[in-house]
Structures are given as structure tokens and as C-alpha cells.
Amino acid sequence: MKRNNVLTITSLLAIVLLSLHFTDDIVYGTDRSPASSIVVIAFLVIWLYGALVLAERRSGHAIMLLGSVGGMVVFSVHVSRAGGLPAGTLAESSGAFFFVWTLLALAVTSVFTAILSALGLWDLRRSKAGMLMQ
């Protein structure tokens, strides 16, 4: 399978996981701001556009790299408890497993997407330099 196809698939998976996790944040009351919802929706739309429309271009790789960094930031914020729930609140809820699972799966797919998009940017840079030399 081509690396660009894997990059698109992992990016789409990370987008789905981030939207599911954001939904959990809203359900548990950690995100009450309508403005942040608009920002997250815009972020997801741009990431989706980069993954589906610009997948073969340098700008698509850059968008997917930034999107995956955003996914890693979400994980970091929750792990540092800055954006988490009060201790014990999550553990007592019925959806704790899904909340934590989406967070971990988002971190893994975001790191993998970042690696693939960085490699894609590097390959595009090398192929561009090769064309200039000819």
C-alpha cells in the first residue's frame, strides 16, 4: 500500500477519534463554550480537506502534520489534567472506558500520522530538489 494512502487513512481515523473524544468532552461537561466548538469544527474541516483533497500535495501533508500535532496536544492536555475532569468523576461514569480509549487511540494515530506526514514532506522536498538538479 502506498504511504500516501496509509497517511490519508490514519488521518481520517484520527479525525474520527478526535470528533468522538470532543463529543465526550461535551457530554461530560468539560467543554461548555460554543466558541471552542466552532474552533474545533473548523479545525476538523481543514484537516479533513487536507486529508481528502490535498493528500498528494505539500500543503496537504503540512495540514495533516498540523492536525496530528493538534491530536497530540489534546492528549497532552488531558494527561496533564489541565483539561481533564475532577479526580474520580470520570472513573464513576459509565463511559469512562470509551473516553480513555478514544484519548489513547487518538494519541497513537496522531503520532503515526505525524511521522507519515513528515516523511511525505521530506520525500516531496527531495523529489523537488532532484527535479531542480536535472
Going from N- to C-terminal start, the domains of the chain cover 3-133
3-state class of 98 per DSSP?
A: helix
Say how far apart CA 121 and CA 115 lie, in whole Å. 10
What pLDDT is stored for residue 82 in this prediction?
A: 55
What pLDDT is stored for residue 92 in this prediction?
A: 62
* Grid coordinates given for 39: 474552533
Would you write out the chain's pLDDT as a tens digit for each of its 134 residues? 687 889 999 999 999 999 998 888 888 777 777 888 899 899 999 999 999 999 889 999 999 999 999 999 988 888 876 555 555 555 566 777 888 889 999 999 999 999 999 999 888 877 665 454 44
What pLDDT is stored for residue 70 in this prediction?
A: 93
What pLDDT is stored for residue 125 in this prediction?
A: 78
Phi, psi of 69 (to 5 degrees): -65, -40
What pLDDT is stored for residue 132 in this prediction?
A: 47
- Give CA 59 to chain center in angstroms: 16
